[in-house]
């Protein structure tokens, strides 16, 4: 397999972007990424998108996006793994370049959630429709059940959960593309309206529109395009039982653990080598469970780690310097690519107020549904 | 008129029909073609006991459209005596009392009225044991 | 890139399979493919599916399918390109093995269309929702417009169109897995009820449920599993403008032409080397346009070729020996994989009454929307 | 209440607003960020002439739910004087007369009533020139 590099990035702001449709968002992010490296010709496009069909009545996003980018003809494929769609698109692009099938690949993640659809129902289609959704559980409800199990088993507290939201808002306040650029206090989190007990509104990522794009090419060609290529050192993908009831331990995210294990192994790194990470904090409890599944901390100890400030900027392992899904926003199909962009900016030393000093190895972890799929990428400055 | 999707699930939802793997003895609900534990494909038909214990739970405040009139309501993952876990609503109690460890029975109930046609959809809900 | 082989296949019958849900269909086909080669362990799964979200409220099919196959943990990705989803899944699996990232890859196509959804509306989401569907055009309507343009430009007749349906039903009558195993006459076709002028019911593929699965591995390992591996000699994917109005010539399928050109070139073959082909006859006119775009015949001459029997079993280049989408059925996401299976059976000499004598090189062409995406694979006996 | 998706398209649907590429002069409708012909990104605003000719057509007999009361109706790809093509319904005539080559004008009309709310959606339809 060939080594693969990210040579350019582009991203819309995340938020309620009423003026932009799905195709507009994609084109805006893609043009930014292309123009930054002199608009080279593209060999293939992968579009990560969870549910264009249900959100805006539009499937077949590969050709639609190629067309609107002025690139009709170019191979273009949409990939979906619920909220991990963006990360999985990145993996498909990575394999395409690694295989030697394509040289320059454009990987996009895009979602238009604020366009009139019933968002609660659409997001629930990432869970098992027959055994879960039918009975009345919602997507926040599934993570609420994970939270309650984690609390019962490890003594994790509402304060621990709130600390995740507080930290991520603090980070996001420094990110010009974030949906919410305001800090919140633990008290605000813990008194916000209840969504699914014990999760409140400020434990939940918002409903967002947005697109994110990265350009990939073989590492050996990367310096034709940029002085600061970022190598994708490895990619790991895994699944777990679809329904929460079918997982032996609802507090442990097997898919994350497996995907990370594959990425660590094929990248030849250990968790302690990671200096900065973007993880899938769709709900505050998710960040805690993910930190444990990534082996950044012992099982059950992520709440304590967070309250101790170790996952904040300046801490031992800064997590979600972008603001995470919570503060940056979560246009579901775009998130995985946006995570990669934050790591690229960190490894290039271009993260401004959010910069982790001297970061050379970073990780991005993206997750679908209540954890039935997860994809992990490890990046390094070269 | 109930859709095929609905009536295909009737055996599991109405009668709690399950399958016991001949290989590893695990009970699978709803039944499947392949045992997720051992990969076995031979099963004996069985029905779940109507009794179990809450593994984890939540109270849904922001509900899906079809269930908005019922919110807030409690949902739980219940483990039956056979070691099977299933997602159910918990009825006939104060939702805030539904916590891990609670003992419940499974009772046949109306689950939801679907869509504009108001199709009545049935299944099981959990009810706390006195 | 490594050479890639198909080592096994599995397929449900196609039709109105009221007893089976989406997940049942997948598992049935996948188990058949796995058991035929001793149930080897699988490194990755790709699921081609157009619209689980809209048809049955279920996205996130990668982990769902892995789980129900007893393979939770295995990387599993859903890919979509409308009615070309199956073919595109095959291409993703091909690239994964070619890259050296995975050895044994399971590629599935699956669709459950008969489950209560509004099929006309769902299929229309493969077209441009804003500039086409909004104004009232349907999916058959788009192909009807292509047909009328082809008639106006080349003198193609209703008899030419009917000849496609008659031939494909004659082929399908010999296929035990076909949805319609009955022959039809040209008169029956030309008096069937009107759908979108000039296309009548018997020019249209049916609404179908079904799943199809192939197993891939590196060619060098193929004989561990089978005495009759079929090499995937090449894969070509291309796009075209999404909206019919945006294509310079509505009678010519640019995406098919481009995809085929790429597959011919990288496979080192010419159209005259192809001895049997499955092509995307979602409507009878589509088969004619595809034959021209694949360079099997001159532009405008496919109707004549068909009426002369050259595309029937026994003719110069037998097309859709399976019965095609028209007679075999068209569970949209499954079709591309089912096409590959027919070619595998032909190249293995296992097609029974449908056998093309001594076929060693075959082609499968799958198409999305009104032709905005197409994928072409070339296969050979080794 | 019309959705954002609807009102974003109002300029193109109500007023036939288009964009002329400064690079290759091609007129693009609806406007885009990138010219599909030359890749250019600079445009001048323009409006389509309301006159064109049918490139190809069909008569829809099996219609989408929202338009079932109108079937059979004619649909056409119309090319305007600027060389722009657009998909429109053809009204005020016998649908079977709508064939390639027919001259039409584009007129502002009700296009559909959407969903159960019956939202009124407007745009242009073609009408044959006398
Ligand atoms: Zn077993
Ligand atoms: Zn131009």
Q: Please say whether the beta carbons of A359 and A353 come within 8 A.
A: no
What residues of C are annotated to the active site? 83, 330
pLDDT in tens, B25-82: 999 999 999 999 999 999 999 999 999 999 999 999 999 988 999 999 999 999 999 9
CB contact (8 A) between residue D61 and residue C121 = no
Ligand nearest to the CA of D27: 2
What's the CA gap between A237 and A48, in Å, rounded? 15
> Greater confidence, A198 or B119?
A198
Q: For the residues C237-248, what does the mean pLDDT come to?
A: 97
Residue C123 three-state SS: helix
Residues in chain D: 130
Q: Measured between alpha carbons, how far is residue A30 from residues A36, A37, A69, A200, D19 in Å?
A: 10, 12, 8, 35, 21
The hierarchical CATH code for the domain A4-118+207-229 is 3.40.47.10
Which residue positions in chain D have pLDDT lower than 50? Answer: 1
CATH fold of C127-205+231-381 reads Peroxisomal Thiolase; Chain A, domain 1 (3.40.47)
Distance A43 CA to ligand 2 centre (A): 21
Beta bridge partners of B88: B76
- Enumerate the residues of chain C whose CB falls inside 8 A of the CB of residue D9: 130, 134
pLDDT in tens, A45-104: 999 999 999 999 999 999 999 999 999 999 999 999 999 999 999 999 999 999 999 999
CB < 8 Å from A in window 23-52 of D: 32-36, 39, 41
pLDDT in tens, B80-112: 999 999 999 999 999 999 999 999 999 999 998
- For residue A10, which of A42, A38, A36 has the smallest C-alpha distance? A36
Whether residue B116 has pLDDT greater than 70: no
Nearest to C66 among A50, A239, A254 (CB): A239
Q: For the residues C95-100, what does the mean pLDDT come to?
A: 96
DSSP code of residue A61: H
Structure-block tokens of residue A314: 């300046």
Q: Please say whether the beta carbons of A31 and A70 come within 8 A.
A: no
Is the model's pTM score more than 0.95?
yes
Structure-block tokens of residue C175: 């296929």
CB contact (8 A) between residue D33 and residue A114 = no
Long-range pairs for D45-48 at CB < 8 Å and ≥24 separation?
Answer: D45/D17, D45/D18, D45/D19, D45/D20, D46/D17, D46/D18, D46/D19, D46/D20, D46/D82, D47/D15, D47/D16, D47/D17, D47/D18, D48/D16, D48/D18, D48/D80, D48/D82, D48/D84, D48/D86, D48/D106
Mutation for testing the C interface, residue in D8, D62, D68, D102 having most C CBs under 10 Å: D62
Complex-level ipTM beyond the 0.90 threshold: yes
Beta bridge partners of C232: C4, C379
Per-domain residue ranges of chain C? 4-118+207-229, 127-205+231-381
CA B124 vs. chain centroid, Å, equals 6
Helix (H) or strand (E) holding B47: strand B43-47
Residue C320 three-state SS: coil
On the 0-12 / 13-18 / 19+ scale of CB atoms within 10 A, A375 is buried
User: Can you give the pLDDT at residue C17?
Assistant: 96
What's the CA gap between D75 and C137, in Å, rounded? 7
- Enumerate the residues of chain D whose CB falls inside 8 A of the CB of residue A70: 34-36, 39
Count Cβ atoms below 10 Å from residue B116 Cβ, excluding itself: 7
Q: What φ, ψ does residue A198 adopt, rounded to 5°?
A: -90, 15
DSSP code of residue C297: S
DSSP A9-42: EEEPPPB--TT--HHHHHHHHHHHHHHTTT-PPP
- For residue A259, which of A39, A91, A70 has the smallest C-alpha distance? A91
Whether residue B115 has pLDDT greater than 90: no
User: Can you give the pLDDT at residue B1?
Assistant: 45
What's the CA gap between C23 and A43, in Å, rounded? 34
What's the CA gap between A291 and A280, in Å, rounded? 10
Q: Where would I find the beta strands (DSSP E) of C289-372?
A: 361-368
DSSP code of residue C298: -
Q: Please say whether the beta carbons of B52 and A245 come within 8 A.
A: no
- Do the domains spanning A4-118+207-229 and A127-205+231-381 agree at the CATH topology level? yes
Q: Please say whether the beta carbons of C361 and C216 come within 8 A.
A: no
User: Can you give the pLDDT at residue B5?
Assistant: 84
Backbone dihedral region for residue A48 (phi beyond 0: left; psi -120 to 50: alpha; all else: beta): beta
Q: Measured between alpha carbons, how far is residue A284 from residues A16, A242, A294, A354, C59 in Å?
A: 21, 21, 16, 20, 23
CB contact (8 A) between residue B33 and residue C18 = no
Q: Where would I find the beta strands (DSSP E) of chain A?
A: 4-11, 44-48, 76-80, 105-112, 194-196, 199-200, 209-218, 230-239, 276-278, 361-368, 373-381
Q: Return the axis-axis angle of helices C284-293 and C254-267, rounded to nearest 10°.
A: 50
- Enumerate the residues of chain A whose CB falls inside 8 A of the CB of residue D36: 67, 70, 72
User: Can you give the pLDDT at residue C231?
Assistant: 98
What's the CA gap between B91 and B110, in Å, rounded? 11
On the 0-12 / 13-18 / 19+ scale of CB atoms within 10 A, A165 is buried
User: Can you give the pLDDT at residue A319?
Assistant: 98
DSSP code of residue C104: S
Which single residue is written with the structure tokens 């188990």? Answer: C31
Which residue positions in chain A have pLDDT lower than 50? Answer: none
Nearest to D62 among C118, C132, C138 (CB): C138
Neighbouring chains of C at 3+ CB pairs within 8 Å? A, B, D
What band does B2 get if pLDDT is binned at 50, 70 and 90?
A: low
DSSP code of residue C354: G
Share above pLDDT 70 across residues of chain C, in percent, rounded to a whole number: 100
Helices first, then strands: H and E counts in chain C: 13, 11
Structure-block tokens of residue A344: 């690229």
What band does C270 get if pLDDT is binned at 50, 70 and 90?
A: very high
- Enumerate the residues of chain B whose CB falls inside 8 A of the CB of residue C28: 33
Whether residue C9 has pLDDT greater than 50: yes
* Interior angle at CA B38, CA B34 and CA B40, nearest 5: 45
* Interior angle at CA D66, CA D62 and CA D69, nearest 5: 65
What residues of A are annotated to the active site? 83, 330
Q: Please say whether the beta carbons of C127 and C139 come within 8 A.
A: yes
Q: What is the largest CA-CA distance in chain C?
A: 56
Q: Please say whether the beta carbons of C12 and C213 come within 8 A.
A: no
User: Can you give the pLDDT at residue D1?
Assistant: 45
Distance C31 CA to ligand 1 centre (A): 16
On the 0-12 / 13-18 / 19+ scale of CB atoms within 10 A, A3 is middle
Radius of gyration in angstroms for the set of CA atoms belonging to chain C, rounded to a whole number = 19
Distance A142 CA to ligand 1 centre (A): 26
Would you give the end-to-end CA distance of chain B in angstroms? 37
Helix (H) or strand (E) holding B18: strand B17-21
What's the CA gap between C177 and C13, in Å, rounded? 4
Task: Give all strands of the β-sheet with D43-47 in edge-to-edge order.
Answer: D27-28, D17-21, D43-47
What's the CA gap between C263 and C256, in Å, rounded? 10
Q: In this complex, is the C-beta atom of B60 within 8 Å of any C-beta atom belonging to chain A?
A: yes
Mutation for testing the C interface, residue in B1, B2, B4 having most C CBs under 10 Å: B4
- For residue C62, which of A112, A133, A240, A55 has the smallest C-alpha distance? A240
- Enumerate the residues of chain A whose CB falls inside 8 A of the CB of residue D119: none
Residue C166 three-state SS: helix
CB contact (8 A) between residue B57 and residue A145 = yes
What's the CA gap between A66 and A40, in Å, rounded? 14
């Amino acid at each position: 397999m060939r080594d693969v590099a990210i040579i350019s990035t582009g991203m819309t702001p995340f938020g309620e972007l009423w003026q932009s449709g799905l195709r507009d968002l994609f084109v805006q992010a893609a043009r930014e990424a292309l123009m930054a490296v002199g608009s080279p010709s593209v060999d293939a496009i992968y579009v990560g998108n969870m549910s264009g069909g249900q959100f805006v009545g539009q499937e077949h996003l590969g050709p639609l996006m190629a067309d609107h980018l002025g690139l009709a003809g170019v191979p273009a494929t949409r990939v979906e793994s619920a909220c991990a769609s963006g990360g999985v698109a990145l993996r498909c692009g990575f394999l395409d370049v690694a295989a030697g099938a394509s040289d320059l690949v454009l990987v996009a993640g895009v979602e238009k959630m604020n366009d009139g659809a019933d968002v609660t129902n659409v997001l629930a289609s990432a869970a098992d429709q027959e055994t879960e959704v039918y009975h009345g559980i919602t997507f926040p409800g599934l993570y609420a059940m994970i939270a309650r199990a984690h609390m019962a088993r490890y003594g994790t507290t509402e304060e621990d959960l709130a600390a995740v939201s507080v930290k991520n808002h603090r980070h996001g306040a420094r990110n010009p593309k974030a949906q919410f650029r305001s800090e919140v206090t633990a008290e605000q989190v813990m008194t916000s309206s209840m969504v699914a007990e014990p999760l409140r509104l400020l434990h939940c990522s918002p409903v967002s529109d947005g697109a994110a794009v990265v350009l990939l090419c073989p590492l050996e060609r990367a310096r034709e395009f940029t002085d600061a290529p970022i190598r994708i050192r490895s990619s790991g993908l895994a699944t777990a039982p679809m329904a929460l009831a079918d997982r032996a331990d609802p507090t442990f995210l097997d898919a994350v653990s497996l995907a990370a294990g594959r990425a660590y192994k094929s990248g030849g790194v250990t968790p302690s080598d990671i200096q900065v990470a973007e993880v899938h904090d769709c709900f505050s409890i998710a960040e805690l469970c993910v930190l444990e599944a990534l082996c950044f901390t012992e099982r059950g100890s992520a709440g304590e780690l967070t309250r101790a400030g170790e996952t904040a900027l300046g801490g031992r392992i800064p997590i979600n310097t972008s603001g995470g899904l919570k503060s940056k926003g979560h246009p579901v199909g775009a998130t995985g690519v946006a995570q990669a962009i934050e790591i690229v900016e960190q490894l290039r030393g271009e993260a401004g107020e959010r910069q982790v000093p001297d970061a050379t190895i970073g990780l991005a972890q993206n997750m679908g549904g209540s954890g039935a799929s997860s994809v992990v990428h490890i990046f390094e400055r070269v | 008129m109930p859709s095929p999707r609905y009536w295909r699930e009737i055996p599991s939802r109405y009668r709690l029909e399950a399958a016991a793997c001949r290989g590893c003895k695990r009970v699978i609900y709803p039944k499947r073609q392949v045992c997720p534990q051992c990969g076995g494909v031979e099963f004996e038909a069985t029905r779940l006991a109507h009794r179990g214990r809450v593994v984890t739970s939540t109270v849904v405040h922001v509900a899906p459209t079809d269930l908005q009139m019922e919110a807030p309501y409690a949902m739980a993952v219940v483990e039956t005596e056979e070691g099977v876990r299933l997602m159910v609503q918990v009825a006939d109690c104060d939702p805030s009392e539904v916590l891990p460890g609670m003992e419940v029975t499974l009772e046949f109930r109306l689950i939801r009225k679907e869509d504009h046609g108001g199709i009545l959809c049935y299944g099981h809900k959990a009810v706390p044991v006195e």
